[in-house]
Amino acid sequence: QSALTQPASVSGSPGQSITISCTGTNSDVGGYKYVSWYQQHPGKAPKVMIYEVSNRPSGVSNRFSGSKSGNTASLTISGLQVEDEADYYCSSYTSSSTLYVFGTGTKVIVL
Amino acid sequence: QVTLRESGPALVKPTQTLTLTCTFSGFSLSTSGMCVSWIRQPPGKALEWLARIDWDDDKYYSTSLKTRLTISKDTSKNQVVLTMTNMDPVDTATYYCARIRNWNDHYMDVWGKGATVTVSS
């Protein structure tokens, strides 16, 4: 099971919107609604930001939103803030015996 | 409040077996639907899912590591144990355990802080 493909880095200025893509296959991203996104600050554990493609857990800012089209899921951060600078990983349920696959990770840089 | 904490050796030698324990509170693995997963992250690299154990003792493993992994639970102690055999320097990583609140949720809603494991002779 190959990792989902994400851009290595995405940058934006405070207040701008950025979008991170996550590309998989029909066996994972394209086949299920179970795409989630995690934020990870340096030296910290990941934190779920989006689950089931577009749902936000309680306490997560509504500046974070998710969507999916075909085999590609996306995470959009609007009104970019300095504290949003972190690594972001997508994850998907898969039809293989490996239940879950993560993305390659994207470093968000706030200019 | 739900918390998870990983514990285990910080250093293991090549070919040895690694045993990690995830001790949790705030939920029970005997609750229908509850699951705990293990995930690892080599230094500077991406997350990699390893294994999941469910409330009903169903177990799932990463296909690429299946022959080396064993996951088990002790519901009375609120612990999940992961063993990985034949450790190699490429297994050097931070190992996380995380809760999946319902087997059909398919996302990790609470994570431990991680345990750093170095494989070196």
pLDDT, tens digit, for every residue of A43-65?
999 999 999 999 999 999 999 99
Q: Amino acid identity of A47?
A: K
Query: What's the confidence (pLDDT) of residue A18?
Result: 98
Q: Which residue spans within chain A are E strands per DSSP?
A: 9-12, 18-23, 35-40, 47-50, 64-69, 72-77, 86-93, 100-102, 106-110
Contact between B93 and B117 (Cβ < 8 Å) = yes
pLDDT, tens digit, for every residue of A23-47?
999 999 999 999 999 999 999 999 9
Token pair belonging to B105: 């949720």
pLDDT at A9 over 90: yes
pLDDT, tens digit, for every residue of B61-110?
999 999 999 999 999 999 999 999 999 999 999 999 999 999 999 999 99
Among B47, B63, B109, the residue with its CB nearest the CB of A89 is: B47
The mean pLDDT value of chain B amounts to 97
Contact between B102 and A34 (Cβ < 8 Å) = no
- % residues pLDDT > 70 (chain B): 100
The candidate with the shortest Cα–Cα distance to A102, out of B1, B106, B59, B74, is B106
- CB pair distance less than 8 Å for B61 and A46: no
Substitution target from A9, A51, A56, A100 for chain B, most B beta carbons within 10 A? A100
Query: What's the confidence (pLDDT) of residue A96?
Result: 86
**The residue to which tokens 């306490």 are assigned:** A59
pLDDT at B22 over 90: yes
Shortest CA gap B48–chain A (Å): 6
Token pair belonging to B110: 């609470």
Substitution target from B40, B62, B106 for chain A, most A beta carbons within 10 A? B106
pLDDT at A1 over 90: no
User: CA–CA separation, B111 vs B34, rounded Å?
Assistant: 14
Query: What's the confidence (pLDDT) of residue A97?
Result: 83
- CB pair distance less than 8 Å for A89 and B46: yes
pLDDT, tens digit, for every residue of A52-99?
999 999 999 999 999 999 999 999 999 999 999 999 999 999 998 899
- CB pair distance less than 8 Å for A99 and B96: no
User: CA–CA separation, B96 vs B4, rounded Å?
Assistant: 9
